[in-house]
Structure 1
Amino acid sequence: MATGRQGGVFVTGATSTIGSLLLPLLHERGVAVQALGRNPVAGENCAWHFLDLADKASDVPAVQADALIHTASLWLLPGWLEKFHARGVRRVIAFSSTSRFTKLASASPYELEVVNKLIAAEEHLAAECERLGMAWTIFRPTLIYGGAGGDRNVADIARLVRRFGFFPRFGQALGRRQPVNARDLALACVQSLDVPASFNKAYNLSGGETLAYVDMVRRIFETLGRKPVFIPVPIWAFRVAVRLARLHPRFSHLTADMALRMQADLVFDHQDATRDFGYRPGRFDPAYLTTLR
């Protein structure tokens, strides 16, 4: 655990779903946090600094920390590790996704682009950290939910249920899922930060419960106090609906392949993380949805 550690920690993507949950966990353990992002906010848990990772010509703020926890998109990190090294960083934790495995055969050019960027960024991170003498850890979560509703999976399903009162189902939707709470992912950062057994490794971080896609959606209905209603939809209709939904910026990430994946098992073992740093995620509990609109 990170309790009492002497060095500080940079957190990129500090306003993201995982980042916003991570800051208070580090603060509780007495860790000095330098929060970095494009929208710095006032807060007592850390010092905030502006940093746009998309601007490769800029530099890391002139403060020191010996660790970096990167919760922003992984493909933004290449080009920055040497700059963080110059600010004292010798330990790096960053988030990728199990999508790098599950979407390799996607028919969506957008999804394939994301997969290729994740793979390239993972390879860059490992090679650059080795060159610079930095200990690295990559986390690949499954379906993330929780936080302030910043996830694009469970929260989107809830919004659809609230608005229409039903959920479109392709086939039987029996593909297995392991939703993982963003709070468990934030805690994994704290648990592994100073644990040598986790250095220079990548971990798949799944949730603590495995359930069919249709049962995951059914639990969302029940959490919202709604009777589960599923409408069978042929794939051609689903494709049309996705095209229409993508006209709205909130749903620009949707693809028709999402319907096909309702039938696929997207299941990963997290026992390596449990063994190395005590990762023990909880069951799927979407109670946070009752606070969202």
Structure 2
Amino acid sequence: ERLEALIGGILKGDSDMTNLSEKIELAQKEAFVNDPGVIGRWSFIDLVPAAGDYRDGETQCERKPESLSELYFLTGGESYWIVSGWTKGKLYLHVVELGGDVLCTYETREVNGRTLLFLTCPRLMTRDGKLYGAGTEVFVYEKTDSVARHERDIGIRDKVDYPFTDDPDVHGKWHAVDFLPTKDMEFDPEHPRRTADRLYVKEIDFSPDGTCVRRMKTGERTLRWTKGMVLDDKVLTASEYEIRNVNGRGYLFLEWKSGDYTYGGRVNVYVFAR
């Protein structure tokens, strides 16, 4: 299986590498020290091997990172989504596959009238379902505002106060069989995009009383549901579902609204079978 960047973003001319390490060091958070100059919103502009390789106006990134296309430094070092906090000169990213945080360091520079931030992160790659470290890479951002925000001030919040309407067709337990990166991708039962061991969500169980239990690698959560939607009152997401017939068998297609949606607007889809 080809190497895939875990955080996302592909350098031009990138190829499979041999300098992979299974040893990835986890970070220990330090006490918060404020850095007023970085507070606000930053937009991704490039990905380079090292800060010294950046050339203003010359893009080296073939594909933008899916998870960090926009970056916030929140008041007081607050965490949000995969950013588990920050302190002066350092930012911590949470990696579910590692069960902990990795350390990124940053510096800012003024370049042609723009304030740029160079974020040096461990380069994490997956191959055959296994995570590897592969040196470091630098995400380059341009500051777009200096607004002091809290976590509650950012992200998408769906309407979730819907009354319960029953849907007997969805009652019962469904197990995950595939993950679709986008809603318009086709599902092929014979050739799933992800093997079962790579699926974060494992199953979902719909009860007739309007509650459902979603079981994941890291635990389970009880949510609400109504006909056509699964409702999360904690993170305020309304994920649509539908049952489709594929090759004579019914499959449940359920939107997956993770931090990629809340903070990036991207909706993925899990496919389930009974």
TM bucket, shorter chain: under 0.3
TM-score under structure 2 length normalisation: 0.27
Bigger CA radius of gyration: 2
Higher helix share: 1
Higher strand share: 2
